[in-house]
Structure 1
Amino acid sequence: MSLIDRQQSPALRRGFRLQWEPRQDCHVLLYPEGMIKLNASAGQILDLVDGQRSVAAIIDRLSANFPGVPGIDEDVLAFLEVAHAQFWIE
């Protein structure tokens, strides 16, 4: 059972900013105390987190971008739970 509701529209926590970092060749999450280097999947998920798009819409978009990937919805929900627990999103 996921703690993240598919109808929620998560947003990056205040003070956090997602950007592509060419030197790192990945997305990074910047915040006042530092930087978090993200893997490709995490970067693609957080790139869709805008406070407007619901979790269900994020899953739908990623499912359309990566057809045939089994369990993508569970993976997205699990990542968003971690991101919420780490206080990256609200």
Structure 2
Amino acid sequence: MSENSPLCTEEKIPAFARGTRLQHDRVRDQWIIQAPERAFLADPVAAEILRRVDGEASLGTIIDTLAVSFNAPREVIARDVLAMATDLADRQVLIWKA
């Protein structure tokens, strides 16, 4: 884990790192994370999470909205969101605002 992600908690507010963004490729109908000198394909679950990253909503808020939207157990959503956010922070795609 990097210094940016060891305490990935629901209180953290994720934002895209400078020069990084989520973009929809209309031709391929696929979400892509564009970062300086690299790109990642975002699977449908990752895209649903990342579309809610606005630099203002906490991970807890994102988890809550996903649990309601998909009528899924909150603890399952929380585990997946926290794991993905930690991984993307380690890759310097996401940063923590709080």
**TM norm. shorter chain > 0.5:** yes
Pairing 1:4–2:8 present: yes
What RMSD, in angstroms, separates the aligned Cα atoms of the two structures?
Answer: 1.5
Partners of 2:20 and 2:28 in 1: how far apart? 18
After TM superposition, the score normalised by the length of structure 1 is 0.89
Where relative contact order (Cα < 8 A, 6+ residues apart) is larger, the structure is 2
1:65 to 69, 77, 81: 69
Give the conservation status (yes or no) of the 8 Å contact 2:35–2:93: no
2:86 to 64, 81, 85: 81
Partners of 2:21 and 2:72 in 1: how far apart? 31
Helix, strand or coil: the match of 1:84? helix
Greater percentage in strand: 2
Give the conservation status (yes or no) of the 8 Å contact 2:23–2:31: yes
After TM superposition, the score normalised by the length of structure 2 is 0.82
What corresponds to 1:48 in structure 2? 52
Runs of 4+ in 1 over 4 A off after TM superposition: none
Pairing 1:16–2:26 present: no
Partners of 1:28 and 1:11 in 2: how far apart? 16
CA deviations 1:6-33 (Å, max 9, x no partner) are: 1111100000011111122211111231
